[in-house]
Amino acid sequence: MQKQSIFQSKLLPYALVAPQLAIVLIFFYWPAAQAVIQSFLLQDAFGLSTSFVWFENYLELFKDPAYFAAIVRTFAFSFAIAVSSLSFALLLAVMADKPLRGSTLYRTLLIWPYAVAPPVVGVLWVFMLHPSLGVLSRYLRAMGVDWNPLLNGDQAAALIILAAAWKQISYNFLFFLAGLQSIPKSVIEAAAIDGARPMRRFWTVIFPLLSPTIFFLLVINIVYAFFDTFGIIDTMTRGGPGKATETLVYKVYTDGLLGGNLGSSAAQSVILMVIVVVLTGIQFRFVERKVTY
Amino acid sequence: MVEEEGFQRYLAHIILWIGIAIVAFPVYLALVASTQDNAVIANGQMSLLPGGHFLETYYQTLFVGTSGSTREPVLNMMLNSLIMALLIAVGKIAISIISAYAIVYFRFPFRMAIFWIIFITLMLPVEVRIYPTYKIVADLHLLDSYAGLSLPLIASATATLLFRQFFMTVPDELLEASRIDGAGPFRFFWDTLLPLSRTNMAALFVILFILGWNQYLWPLLITTRDDMQTIQVGIRKMITTTDALTEWPVVMATALLAMLPPVFVVVVMQKLFVRGLVETEK
């Protein structure tokens, strides 16, 4: 697609793209290239000499059980966050899609958590479920649960998943509601005339028509769980206890912070880049929201 | 119209209110905690009703900070967050709209190459390239500066794509018409295109402001001075000390102050927010 009617100028267009190009090259391509180059290098312990080691940093990573565990953990977290947040948001969206009094108020009251920053989400939830002073922990203990996410890795993981899913409800709700509202009412009426009860109407008519939205949101939620949970994890558990809540992004952060192995940290970054590119590719391919060139 | 039986309708109301309660409870708890005495909270005896320390806590939070050694008034943190968010939102819109203008309204060598160079940045969030970017920002002596906080986050293609798509829908006749009026590229941009883009810019601004205000990892890495802290980083530092010393009312007040501007924007500018959200999601 191209404009037929355009301006003629030799230098002006370059001047117009220059600021963005400069920023993108300096703060995007240069660091990305650095990460790739670094990932093929090995520095000795004193930082005096560097040698080119091909894929050794990558091989080391894949041989490292801790890294493998972080990959599995990250995918498990993403899946748990996406499924719990999506199903709850879908339930709310189906309810809000009905012709109810006060539906705009409901929408307003459900979408604002989108604006709460991940570290703040972490602080709110850590306070609510703090082992010694959390309000909800009292009830959990009264029910006989030995609640202590500071020591129990599974509980810490559950805490992260809950908090991360909570934040994402509003986003999913908005997109589900938009998806539901775009389904023609006549289709649903036709099913109703055929005698389908509400539950049946939902599973046989609405749900299949909503599948593009579901798939789109699934990818978005996985990307969210990969990257945006950093702030939640950092304020709630710092990846602990042990490494029970250390995701791939958090591992890049801590490994780099300790300043230990630059090559390994860079290799981890490159692997993350590949994962994002693949996820974005899947999204573009299957969810026909193509950008026109 | 599909009939909704009365029971179904009641059920919908109930489920929605339960949803709202789940969504609002952590924030209610924060509000209540911010008005109570720290000793009571630390004992695990916190009441679910507001206490009487509202003014005291918020005064301390905004103007003094925690009692710890690295005290920093939260008002100052909010100012840093505001400057960063505005720089990111305005900067991204400004550089994107002019580069989209060049790509759509001019033909020049490497036009598509440049478009692709910008487009690819869409895929990689700052999180995957933090340390190399950190090194560059450090080499440029931009640590602890507003430029360092915002420039790396401006490097992304979403806004450029959005403006490009919008410009493609602007009828060619408008350009013809302003050309007949003797307008050059600057006048056409300023008098015709910019006014038409106003809603798009506003929607984009709302989303970018929220994203900018909520940045965490990047400010955490590149700010070392306490007076350059953003509120998201500041709140984390408040709970680093051992639990016994955490001043929960101040932390909770800070949490509420941190969410106030973006939540306000979402609620008040809901239409623009929804539009921006849907459009920036590719």
Neighbours of B212 (CB within 10 A): 26
Cβ pair A273:B259 closer than 8 A? no
Q: Delimit the domains of chain B by residue range.
A: 74-225+257-280
**Helix axes B130-139 and B146-154, enclosed angle (nearest 10):** 130
| pLDDT classification of A52: cutoffs 50, 70, 90 | confident
Of the segments A59-73, A275-289, B119-133, which one has the largest average pLDDT value? A59-73
* C-beta contacts of A184-188 below 8 A and 24+ residues apart: A185/B1, A185/B2, A188/B2
Confidence grade of residue A213 (pLDDT, cut at 50, 70, 90): confident
Contact B137, B143 (CB under 8 A): yes
ipTM > 0.90, yes or no = no
Indicate the DSSP class of residue B38: H
Q: Find the residue in B nearest to A12 (Cα).
A: B102
Range of the domain at A200: 61-286
The CA-based angle A177-A180-A184, given to 5 degrees, is 145
Q: Is the pLDDT of residue A292 over 60?
A: no
Count residue pairs from A and B with Cβ separation < 8 A. Answer: 297
Q: Closest by alpha carbon to B275, among A97, A89, A178, A284?
A: A178
Query: Does residue A229 fall inside a structural domain?
Result: yes
In a domain, A28, yes or no: no
pLDDT at residue B87 greater than cutoff 90: yes
Whether residue B69 is predicted with pLDDT greater than 50 in this model: the reply is: yes
For residue B3, the model assigns a pLDDT of 54
Q: What is the predicted pLDDT for the residue at B47? A: 76
- B232, A117: Cβ pair inside 8 Å? yes
Burial of B245 (0-12, 13-18, 19+ CB in 10 A): middle
Give the per-residue pLDDT at B263. 92
Highest mean pLDDT among A212-216, B75-79, B118-122: B75-79
Would residue A138 count as lying in a domain? yes
Say whether residue A276 is in contact with chain B using an 8 A CB cutoff.
Answer: yes
pLDDT of A157 higher than 60: yes
Number of domains in chain A: 1
Task: Give the minimum alpha-carbon distance from A178 to chain B in angstroms, rounded to a whole number.
Answer: 9
A143 shares contact with chain B (CB less than 8 Å): no
Q: Which residue of B has its CA nearest to A230?
A: B217
State in words which class domain B74-225+257-280 has.
mainly alpha
pLDDT, position A82: 93
In chain B, what residues touch A170 (CB-CB under 8 Å)? 23
Q: Which residue of A has its CA nearest to B140?
A: A26
Residue A212: pLDDT band by 50, 70, 90 thresholds? confident
Determine the pLDDT at residue A47.
Answer: 63
**Which residues 58-97 on chain B approach chain A with CB closer than 8 angstroms?**
94-96
Q: What is the pTM of this model?
A: 0.88
Q: Between these two residues, B246 and B212, which has the higher pLDDT value?
A: B212
Q: Which residues of A touch B255 (CB under 8 A)?
A: 120, 123-124
Instruction: Say which CATH number the domain at A124 has.
Output: 1.10.3720.10
Evaluate whether B20 touches A109 at the Cβ level (below 8 Å).
Answer: yes
Residue A76 at interface with chain B, using a CB cutoff of 8 Å: no
State whether B41 and A21 contact (CB < 8 Å).
no
What is the pLDDT, as a whole number, of residue B243? 57
The answer to whether residue B55 neighbours chain A at the CB level (below 8 Å) is no
Please tell me the distance in Å from A156's CA to the nearest CA on chain B.
17
Do B126 and B160 contact (CB within 8 A), yes or no?
Answer: no
Chain B residues with beta carbon closer than 8 angstroms to that of A272: 127-128
Q: What is the mean pLDDT of residues A233-253?
A: 84
Q: Which residues of A touch B266 (CB under 8 A)?
A: 111-112, 114-115
pLDDT band for A48, please (50, 70, 90 cuts). Answer: low
Per residue in A55-75, pLDDT tens? 888 888 888 888 888 899 999
B154 at A interface, C-beta within 8 A = yes
- Average pLDDT for A14-24: 90
Residue among A2, A7, A106, A194 with most chain B CBs within 10 A, to mutate: A7
Residue of A9, A112, A248, A262 to mutate when probing chain B, most B C-beta within 10 A: A112
Do residue A235 and residue B239 have CB atoms under 8 angstroms apart? yes
